[in-house]
Structure 1
Amino acid sequence: MKRMRQFRAPASRRWIVAGVAAITAVIVLVLIATVWMNPRTSPSPSLPTNTTLAPEGEPGATGVTTSIDGGEPMRTLEVGAGASSEGEADPDVDISIDPRAEQQRVDGFGAAMTHSSADLLASMPGDERTALLEELFDPDGPVRLSTLRLPIGASDFVDTDAFTFDDVAVGETDWELERFSIDPDRHALIPMLQEVLAINPELRLIASPWSPPAWMKTSGSLEGGRLLDEDRAYETYSAYLVRFVEEYRAAGLEIDALTVQNEPQYRHPDGYPGTDMPVWQEAKLIERLGPALDAAGHDTAILGFDHNWELNPGDAATTPEGEDPAYQYPADLLRTPAAEWIDGIAFHCYSGDASAQSRLWEQFPDIEIWVTECSGSSAPGDSPEKVFADTFAWQTTNVLIGSLRNRAAGVLTWNLVLDEHSGPHRGGCETCSGVVTLGADGTVTRNAEYFMLAHAARYLPPGSIRVESSSTDAELQHVAFATPEGETVLLVWNSAGVPRSIEVGDDRRSLGVDVPASSLSTISWAALTPDS
């Protein structure tokens, strides 16, 4: 099994966009200087823009917090000195961090640039779109997302009929891929990705197909069915995916990783593309795809699986008679010969919990684990306040802290941008939420996903290392990191319905901080210096 490539952006990408990036850097400094607003509905958030700028209190220590009570998100926390002195660990701290107990490297936070997200962004006035993308992706900006997932062909989030890059009339085939074209993506998806890349030249891209072309499938349809179990189908579909990588490279967009099938155990999608791909078939495909990527000179990683932490009972019930439901799909896949070509495993959040990641890692410690999709949702009639509170609490505890404590190298939510009707979409989720919502009047609403991601991405640059943290307090959920710059960063969720005064620390120092009720706080500090 190959060790994960960690999605490093190649040097060629950096210099191609360096000129554009230099110009946008000047613009973003001006924009960030003017950022101050209602964080839910106005054009720009009130977020701190410099992690080393401490408030009044302990030198070199900062804190921000977001609670579910409707207060100002990402507001500054006062961080004071704890009881222990420099160089002495305090056994009585509420959360103790051991910076020597290194765990996984963390390389990215982000969301998905679906066709719906791209279309909505493209509909914005250019200056407003640029300001929003800089806010989200600039490496020195207030959020600092670094990874985007994109569909290969249509997902459920499109404003058109479903499509792939090689659709032909019913009854026809194209085994030589003579009609292959990524033209559907040239309208909005590719231009929006190019704009983001100009803002963040180190952007990582993960691409996932929802379906092969219908003529390659047993169903003859994009909705449901399997890839034909024929050598020419595996060879041609591998060539199709390699061609996608090549065409995107020609557009200036490097695909850092591929999954070979979105949600392979979801056999009967509701009105949108999807494919039943059992373990044995995904393995057969990867055994062709890995060598094909190498032969074409692409350093594109392959992530297996791309589905839930645990097999959904509804998906298990649709298992064809006599077949294995594959309750341990990722582990089963990694025991096949295809493991030679698999760099990591991708998970979604819609069934089970993140402890599945650690159980898998214990069996296969060389793989890298990513959470590639998790969408917020709501019930009809829920107030905006309830949607924010429920989504923020669940995603913080399960997707952010839960995944990172269980070996995740990256965490992505689902759509980057949706409209106020949770769309546009064709079938599928009717109540999904995006990182931001774009209203018909152009109003941008920053949702729970925005602030959850900002609490991590803003303070954890790629290359940060998770370190061990522990606590005997069941009301405090936490995860800690050492950054490349030498800071310690702690994310802590106070599940109590009352504010708490807590003490946190490592072997260098301890700090005291008051965290609000039902809040996520990010606390960062560096070692004290003689001048501190």
Structure 2
Amino acid sequence: MKKLLSIILVIFFSSNGHFSFAQKVQVITSSTSQKWVTLKKKEVKIEANAAKADITIFPEQKKQVIDGIGGSFNELGWTAVASLPADQQKEVFEALFSEEGCNFSMCRLPVGSSDYSLSYYSHAEVPEDFEMRDFNIVRDKYILIPYIKEALKVRPDLKLWASPWSPPAWMKVNNHYSLRRGDVEGRPNGNRMPEGAEIMSNATAFKMQERYLQAYALYFSKFVQAYAEEGVPLWAIMPQNEIKWAPNWPACTWRAEDMSYFIGKYLGPQFEVDGLDTEIWLGTINNSNPDYVRTILNKESDAKYISGVGFQWSGSKALPKIKEEYKGMKFMQTENMCGEHENDWTSVEASWKMMVHYFQNMTGSYMYWNMILDEEGNSAWGWPQNSMVVIDRDKQQVIYNDEYYLFKHLSHFVQPGAHYLASSKGDNHIAFELNDGRVMLMVYNPEEAEKSIAVNVSGTSATFKAQGKSISSVIFTLQDEKMKS
């Protein structure tokens, strides 16, 4: 009987000539109550040629390449983690950047002050210093760069990009870092803006005179060069964070035509003259109207300097049309929604929805906002927000929030060079081909109850029970063979 079965199998596989099967399927899951649990072999049922699956992955249909996944460096993150003893600091950086942790491969930093810096500042504080004679990054050498270098110790090939929240105040029409005075949604302003200095019309807040534009292009070039001299090379620059938002913290709105003019006539040429290979990306775009991006990308003489487009917040609504109209352009999700200091599973659900949306729409890189904050999570302007890691300074305690595990389920496996894969329709899963050829599925069970999920890859099905409200990573190790009679 066994001999007959062997003959049948040989005939079957010989007639097909080529087949794929999973040598190994690993399932790692996190829920509201348990984090990063590897299921036992007996808890994962593997079948060949299963008739039915809830989710089917198509490894032969590769989509966009993945450029990187990570979060943002800010001054308040460094002051929080620096309050810990050295051994606990090391634990945090290992958790975020090591192969055993989140394995982050790309991160963001501000050019000058952000809403999570300790105060307003720029790298050119002398008014009308058009030649940038007094340009310096002295402050960053003591705060931001040590933060980044701790990450680089763990992940030396970490890709870094930067964007300003505001130019130096003297380059702006209202001579102030912010665009709005007074309370925003009940939060204290803290910006001491003079009455009448607000710019609320989405007009360009930058002084669009040649000497200011040229000086600002030089400002970016000097920033890139200064960071490189400190051993922190920058892979890309985006000229403005949230280009269509007028808050009461550092900001600068730009009309699309003016941003295009700045990139095409000043920033791009300055990088060329200085021999910089740092890429220029358009972003960060928070405008839901695709016409903003179209206006710039359709101006070929300016767009030739643009390597990609970064979207965040309302910009997500423009991405589906833009990715169809500009084939071959790279896209990034530049800042996930920051929450209200919930730091719980509701934040996971919100971030998961955005993650699915962006990857389904050709995004190749994905950024969290503040990786680390203290127990209050407050910005310098009074907005408490989420973070992956909370440092309780009084208790000297490190807390890894639910969103930490959401991102670990993705970036622990998905590294630069991986590919997004086509899969069956649905809003609760995304799939990737990893660099070593394995196939990885992230799947969310949004229901309260436990749910059985069957995943099919190249004829092999893996079925497991996903806990209620859980994120799971399912990793298939596939092997291709030919069998001959």
Residue in 2 aligned with 1:469? 423
- What is the CA distance between 1:431 and its match in structure 2? 2.4
- Residues in 2 aligned to 1:484 and 1:335: alpha-carbon distance in whole angstroms: 34
Q: Deviations over 1:111-166 (max 9, x none)?
A: 1101111222233222221221022102x22211111110000011122x301001
Write the letter of the residue equivalent to 1:335. N
1:396 equivalent in alignment to 2:352: yes
- Residues in 2 aligned to 1:96 and 1:407: alpha-carbon distance in whole angstroms: 19
Q: Deviations over 1:371-419 (max 9, x none)?
A: 111243237xxxx6xx412101111122x22211221111111111111
- Residues in 2 aligned to 1:84 and 1:372: alpha-carbon distance in whole angstroms: 40
User: What's the C-alpha RMSD, in Å, of the aligned pairs?
Assistant: 1.9
Secondary structure of 2:318's aligned partner: helix
Say which of 426, 432, 438 aligns to 1:481. Answer: 432
Superposed, 1:46-445 pairs within 5 Å as 59-67=23-31, 70-78=32-40, 80-85=44-49, 90=50, 92-138=52-98, 140-159=99-118, 161-168=119-126, 172-224=127-179, 226-267=205-246, 269-270=247-248, 272-287=249-264, 288-308=266-286, 310-311=287-288, 328-336=291-299, 337-349=301-313, 351=314, 354=316, 356-378=318-340, 387-398=343-354, 400-423=355-378, 425-427=379-381, 430-440=383-393, 441-445=395-399
* Percentage of identical aligned residues: 26
CA contact (8 A) 2:332 2:366 kept: yes
Write the letter of the residue equivalent to 2:213. Y
Q: Deviations over 1:48-95 (max 9, x none)?
A: xxxxxxxxxx8521111122xx3111112345344434xxxx552111
CA contact (8 A) 1:301 1:342 kept: yes
- What is the CA distance between 1:289 and its match in structure 2? 1.1
Structure index of larger Rg: 2
- What is the CA distance between 1:448 and its match in structure 2? 2.5
Write the letter of the residue equivalent to 1:186. K
Write the letter of the residue equivalent to 1:294. E
- Residues in 2 aligned to 1:485 and 1:240: alpha-carbon distance in whole angstroms: 41
Where does the alignment leave 5 or more consecutive residues of structure 1 unmatched? 1-57, 312-325
- What is the CA distance between 1:355 and its match in structure 2? 5.7
CA contact (8 A) 2:290 2:318 kept: no
- Residues in 2 aligned to 1:483 and 1:83: alpha-carbon distance in whole angstroms: 22
1:517 equivalent in alignment to 2:479: no
Q: Deviations over 1:217-252 (max 9, x none)?
A: 111111125111111111110000000000000000
- What is the CA distance between 1:106 and its match in structure 2? 1.0
- What is the CA distance between 1:519 and its match in structure 2? 1.5
Say which of 445, 448, 451 aligns to 1:494. Answer: 445
Q: Deviations over 1:165-214 (max 9, x none)?
A: 0113xxx4211111111111011211121121121111011101011112
Say which of 478, 481, 485 aligns to 1:527. Answer: 478
- Residues in 2 aligned to 1:62 and 1:376: alpha-carbon distance in whole angstroms: 31
Output the TM-score relative to the length of structure 2: 0.85
Count of aligned positions: 431
- Residues in 2 aligned to 1:295 and 1:479: alpha-carbon distance in whole angstroms: 42
Write the letter of the residue equivalent to 1:527. L
Output the TM-score relative to the length of structure 1: 0.77
Say which of 506, 510, 523 aligns to 2:457. Answer: 506
CA contact (8 A) 1:371 1:412 kept: yes
Residue in 2 aligned with 1:6? none
CA contact (8 A) 1:348 1:374 kept: yes
CA contact (8 A) 2:290 2:322 kept: no
CA contact (8 A) 1:117 1:417 kept: yes
- Residues in 1 aligned to 2:469 and 2:462: alpha-carbon distance in whole angstroms: 20
Residue in 2 aligned with 1:33? none
CA contact (8 A) 1:77 1:514 kept: no
- Residues in 2 aligned to 1:355 and 1:365: alpha-carbon distance in whole angstroms: 17
- Residues in 1 aligned to 2:320 and 2:105: alpha-carbon distance in whole angstroms: 24
Q: Deviations over 1:346-387 (max 9, x none)?
A: 1113x37x46323211100121111111243237xxxx6xx4
Secondary structure of 1:283's aligned partner: helix
Residue in 1 aligned with 2:5? none
Write the letter of the residue equivalent to 2:75. H
